Structure 1
């Protein structure tokens, strides 16, 4: 039976110094999906990478093996010891994995409660996986449902009513640090979506911004025209820093764009010219744009994305009730997903169950073939029919109960328990083992299937399945 697995790391489990080592660019995501798509053990795959998380969603037959393989691969690529990484990642499965993505898409798992950029990031992750051909029935259902859930949360609650983007919180931090921004010289390094959101936040406070970008010069000019700013290049960065009060950086560069040595020269020149204004640097990029050593330069205050937490805490006031309503919406949608998972798995499980039972009958008959010298062919046929009848009647009630569970939230739990009890995923006794016991001791009345069936009394299945479905 295929299972859904997520292996991820986020701001809740690791600092930015670790997250930036696991951050992946769009080309890297495509290469990763290509490799996962070629794996015989991975049936579906998608990768979500934002400034605060890197997550791999896979559909696999053996989640334990897949978890180990993914952890090893990520540890190798990030040059982090597997034992160290194992303490930082989370690996929810099935409905827990779905719940996690629903909360991510709804802004409930973000550093900034109700953050709205993440909805678009989840959508792009899904579109990339679609383009690479690595999605299938389960991930298609999962991502579409997660995006629907995120939309419901933002439509039906006020969780996103206040400033709910990393960019806007960074501007708040700048204002708290230097005071009124209207007369300050502000610089934005980068010209992407985050830079645009930052410019919007500055514009509401009457700030005309300098946009600095090499890779996207045309977009930088477009942003400057919209927000009444100016354009510069990274080549001229030291000269531009000479007059700056606040710098917010959000490029997609895999390496720092500002080092401590060049910044030290800039601040030395400012001091020699009598300019004693402090310089506030806010780095909201992952990987970081500004070398952490810049914090040691006199006159410089450096903040990274993890330093936004204090500002975030103040912005959370009054949104607790909205978050509770949003969590209820997530649970409603999870119930839908659980029902769908159960319905998708029921028919294959019934087929596997009856196939396993038939294999056991055949194994027992074969192993006892030499012990029935006095039995005629008709006698042996009657014994086989009787054995198959016993098995069919024994499996009738579990089969009926399983079919009846199709439209219930605990359908997946029923399926999971039944497959575990009957060893349908290779975890139980092998058919050959059943035959060996029959050969050594005569026809056994307690084969693995029979013993499991006695253990799977319908009321017990319902109770166990309910617990598993609730926590799955």
Structure 2
């Protein structure tokens, strides 16, 4: 029987210095997923990695063994003991795993509730798994439902009103620190989606001079043209740092872009002028030791939380409506998940009964020399009727099983009837709409 398991770490459970050890670029995520899928215990896998979280969702037969194995994989990647990593990780299963993903996709688990980027990040994570060949029937349904949930939340609530994002909060932090930004000299390192949002937020505040440094010159040029900036190459970055007032860094580099030794030389050339660095990348683009250099003010993504708290209450009502939508969609997913688990067991149970009837009829074939064909047909019909009536009530009760209790009940049925855990009969997808009770709302 297949079960969902998510193993994750987020800004709610761990600081950036630990999260960055588990961060995955798209390429690294694809490689990691393929390594995971090579393990017999892992049937499907999808990895989400953003500045706020890394979550690995897998489909497994034994979630206890899979959780231990997956924790070991992640601990080796992070370079820490599994027991230490386990303290900051969460591991929801089945509908709870789905609820976590639905909340993430809806922006409810973000540092900034309703942030704009997260739906696109979840979609890209799913597309990466599809391209890597590690998604499958269960994760396909899960992520399709999650993206639909996120769309509903954004359509039916005002949770994204104001287009709040990590980028906009970073710019607000720069205003809080330096005041008016109009005449400030800004350098943006990176030209991805987050950098684009940063450029837009700066442009809305009248900042017209932006130097965008990125290895992809075409993307950097497009971004600079849209928001009135200029492009510089990475090898020219130290020169631009000598003139900058604000540096916003957000790349996918696995190593720091700005190190302490280099920045010390830059600060000597600035004649004591202060420099504000806002690093919203995970892994971090700026060596944390740069904060010790006189004249340098360095904020990382976790430092943005103080600004975020001031806007939390504004979105409270919309967040509550978003949570209601999530729970509505969880009920739908629970119905599908419950039927997906129950129907193969019901089919296997009835096949088991049919096999017994066939076996008993075969064992007694030829023992009724005087029986006519009509008599033999009646005996067979009676045997099958007894089997059908015997299994009728168990079938009805299995279909009505609460999805929260289905795993234990199905395992008991298989044990009582001596069916192997893997025994099942293929059930067409169209039959998965069989009647099952909805999952109770959390806290109900």
Task: Please report the TM-score for the alignment, with normalisation by the length of structure 2.
Answer: 0.85
1:293 corresponds to 2:289: yes
Report the Cα distance in structure 1 between the residues aligned to 2:442 and 2:393, rounded to whole angstroms: 23
Matches for 1:56-455 after TM superposition, within 5 Å: 56-271=56-271, 276-353=272-349, 395-403=391-399, 405=400, 411-413=402-404, 415-422=406-413, 424=414, 431=418
Matched position secondary structure for 1:319? helix
Cα separation, partners in 2 of 1:157 and 1:261, compared to 1, 3 Å:
same
Which residue is equivalent to 1:4?
A: 4
Q: How far apart are the structure 1 equivalents of 2:67 and 2:355? A: 31
Cα distance, 1:269 vs structure 2: 2.4
Residues in 2 aligned to 1:54 and 1:430: alpha-carbon distance in whole angstroms: 41
Contact 1:283 1:302 in 2 (8 A): yes
1:32 corresponds in structure 2 to 32
Structure 1: distance between partners of 2:210 and 2:228: 9
Range moving further from structure 2, 207-216 or 99-108: 207-216
Helix, strand or coil for the counterpart of 1:318? helix
Post-superposition shift, 1:413?
3.4
Q: 1:176 to 1:247 in 2, by over 3 A?
A: same
Gaps of 5+ in 2: 361-366, 369-380, 420-435
Please report how far the alpha carbon of residue 263 of structure 1 lies from its aligned counterpart in structure 2 after TM superposition: 1.1
| SS of the residue 1:350 aligns to | helix
Separation (CA, whole Å) in 1 of partners of 2:163 and 2:275: 25
**What do you get for the CA RMSD once the two structures are aligned?**
3.1
Asked if the contact 2:48–2:121 (Cα under 8 Å) also holds between the matched residues in 1, the reply is yes
Stretches of structure 1 that go unaligned for 5 or more consecutive residues are: 366-376, 379-384, 433-461
Contact 2:105 2:146 in 1 (8 A): yes
**Deviations, residues 119-161 of structure 1 (Å, cap 9, x unaligned):** 0011111111112222222111111111111011011111100
The answer to whether the 8 Å contact 1:114/1:164 transfers is yes
Q: Please give the per-residue CA displacement for 1:7-41, whole angstroms capped at 9, x wherever unaligned.
A: 11111111100010000111111112222333322
Note the C-alpha offset of 1:326: 0.3
Residues 351 and 232 (structure 1 numbering): CA distance in 2 closer, same or farther, change over 3 Å?
Answer: same
Assess, with a 3 A threshold, how the Cα gap between structure 1 residues 418 and 223 changes in structure 2: closer, same or farther: same
SS at match of 2:313: coil
Distance (whole Å) between structure 1 residues aligned to residue 387 and residue 9 of structure 2 = 47
The structural deviation recorded for 1:164 is: 1.6
Residue 360 (structure 1) shift: 10
Distance of aligned partners of 1:295 and 1:359 in 2 relative to their CA distance in 1, 3 Å threshold = farther
8 Å Cα contact 2:21-2:283 kept in structure 1: yes
**Could you tell me how far 1:233 is from its partner in structure 2?**
2.1
Count of residues in Structure 1 that have an aligned counterpart in Structure 2 = 415
Moved more, 32-41 or 337-346: 32-41
Deviates more, 1:198-207 or 1:227-236: 227-236
Contact 1:190/1:251 (CA < 8 Å) preserved in 2? yes
| CA–CA separation in structure 1 for the residues paired with 2:442 and 2:383 | 37
Distance in 1, matches of 2:279 and 2:438, equals 47
Q: Contact (CA 8 Å) 1:359, 1:431: kept in 2 or not?
A: no
